[in-house]
Amino acid sequence: LPEDARQAIHITADSATRNDQTGITLYKGNVLLSQGSMKVTGDSIELRQTGTTITTIIAKGRPAEFQQRTAADKEVTHAYGEVLDYNIRTKELEITGQAKVSQGNDSFSGNRIIYDMNKSTVNAFSDHSGNGQRVQMIIQPKTTEQAPPANDDKPVSEAASGELNNQ
């Protein structure tokens, strides 16, 4: 939610290491971070600070998960991946490794996804190696009066971009 960014960040974990010189705090073991409607879970979460301001949240897991309600009337957006790298200032979430973003019944998956929360746009990229994971988009037809497009369930080319539920 828009007001999420103004709320305190809460985090719990089994253990943590803080390095004053680098400004990095690494939380490990059943890590849960929350800020308003935003929640991030993972095996480890690294917080990077400049001074006392948190600039970046990097979650790792099998998979790590990010979820947030972008607006009161929208469904919760879920993002999954081996590494979730969230830039707090740009509100850009980069997901690598088994990446998937879903909102309601719509979903994008690929090897790497960049989800821009300001614009609610998703850029998905496949893995360039031969047997890599290709980009897949599933956009469910909207209600009948909105002239539903054909159900596009087949893999898409190397890269794809789209917008999450923005009506």
When asked if residue 164 is in the footprint of another protein (CB under 8 A), the reply is: no
Nearest in space to 82 (alpha carbons), one of 71, 94, 70: 94
When asked if residue 12 is in the footprint of another protein (CB under 8 A), the reply is: yes
When asked if residue 19 is in the footprint of another protein (CB under 8 A), the reply is: yes
Number of Cβ atoms within 10 Å of the Cβ of 124:
27
Cα distances (Å, whole numbers) of residue 135 to 3, 82, 122, 138, 162: 32, 16, 12, 10, 12
| Span of 9-17, 114-122, 123-131, 154-162 interacting with another protein by CB under 8 A | 9-17
When asked if residue 14 is in the footprint of another protein (CB under 8 A), the reply is: yes
Phi-psi sector, 39: left (phi>0), alpha (psi -120 to 50), beta: beta
Contact between 22 and 45 (Cβ < 8 Å) = no
When asked if residue 1 is in the footprint of another protein (CB under 8 A), the reply is: no
- CA dist., res. 163 & res. 100, Å (int): 14
Whole-number minimum distance, CB 1 to another protein, in Å?
Answer: 14
When asked if residue 16 is in the footprint of another protein (CB under 8 A), the reply is: yes
When asked if residue 3 is in the footprint of another protein (CB under 8 A), the reply is: no
- Tell me the number of residues near another protein by CB under 8 A: 27
Q: What is the CA radius of gyration of the chain?
A: 17
Whole-number minimum distance, CB 20 to another protein, in Å?
Answer: 4
Contact between 104 and 75 (Cβ < 8 Å) = yes
Number of Cβ atoms within 10 Å of the Cβ of 60:
20
Whole-number minimum distance, CB 76 to another protein, in Å?
Answer: 21
When asked if residue 131 is in the footprint of another protein (CB under 8 A), the reply is: no
- The site string for another protein over 29-68 (x = CB under 8 A, - otherwise) reads ------x-----------x-x-xxxx--------------
Write out the residues near another protein by the rule CB under 8 A: 5-21, 23, 25, 27, 35, 47, 49, 51-54
